[in-house]
Amino acid sequence: MLGERIRRLRKEMGMSVTELARRVKTSPSYISEIEKGEKTPSLNLLVRIASELRTGIDYLTGLEGFAEKALNVTEVVLLDQASVTAAGKGMDQTGVYPAVEEMIYVPDDALGPVGDIPPFAVRVSGESMIGAGITDNSIVVVNPNGEVGQGDVALVTIGNEWTVKYIYTKADGSLELRPANPSYSPMFFNKEDLTSGLVKIIGKVVWIIGKPKKEF
């Protein structure tokens, strides 16, 4: 809907993709991807697009009161797949992310308290967490400052690999990473795996952009 409305208004004004991109200070290819529904513009870019098209962001998004609610929304970086694959740590020690695919916005009440390391989002590959509503190619938002409790969904690194699983800690300090799909087996790690840094809980998954969960 967003992309379709942008395209229609742009054409009604006789404006090319290149011209709109120039006015809102982005690339023509990015505008095209937005119009096709392949990308989601940041809140700031959305405001600029609405201004150039002489409309409001409520109309573009199709969400009544979005502009007002947007005051309680935080922009979060969506890491590109190369970063997820190549950078097991996800970010350097200063909290600067290696590469960004795009920006998305998340309700503050879902995000929770934000610490020194900002929240970020990643795309998930596979269906091991389909029962939690995380399907293949879903986007999950991770808050490194969020407290991870028993049974919470979290992003975990195992060496240089990322995984999203239910978290269960044991009395002896060991860890179980439990999938939400009976076709997959849980993974178990001892206390030494965690203290050595082989396994790290990066943060709590606080927001999911994907299809409704499948019941088993």
In the chain the domains, ranked by start, together with CATH numbers, are 2-64 (1.10.260.40), 72-209 (2.10.109.10)
* C-beta of residue 34 within 8 angstroms of C-beta of residue 50: no
**Side chain identity at 214, as an amino acid letter?**
K
The H-or-E segment that residue 147 falls in is: none
Tell me what the mean pLDDT of segment 23-27 comes to. 90
Q: What is the pLDDT of residue 91?
A: 41
Distances (CA, A) of 166 to 88, 107, 131, 151, 186: 19, 23, 11, 5, 9
**Which are the catalytic amino acids?**
128, 165
Q: Is the pLDDT of residue 64 over 80?
A: no
| Total Cβ atoms within 10 A of residue 149 | 11
Mean pLDDT, range 154-170, rounded to an integer: 94
Average pLDDT (22-26) is 90
pLDDT of 158 over the 50 cut: yes
Residue written as token pair 């590109």: 80
Q: Is the pTM of this model over 0.75?
A: no
Region 97-101: what's the mean pLDDT?
54
Q: Cα(100)–Cα(81) distance, rounded to whole angstroms?
A: 9
The CA-to-CA distance between both ends of the chain, in Å, stands at 32
Using CA atoms, how far residue 148 sits from 30, 32, 98, in Å, is 36, 39, 24
Residue 215 has pLDDT above 60, yes or no: no
Q: What burial class does residue 90 get, using C-beta atoms within 10 Å of its C-beta: 0-12 exposed, 13-18 middle, 19+ buried? A: buried
* CB neighbour list of residue 190: distance below 8 Å, 6 or more residues apart: 172, 173, 174
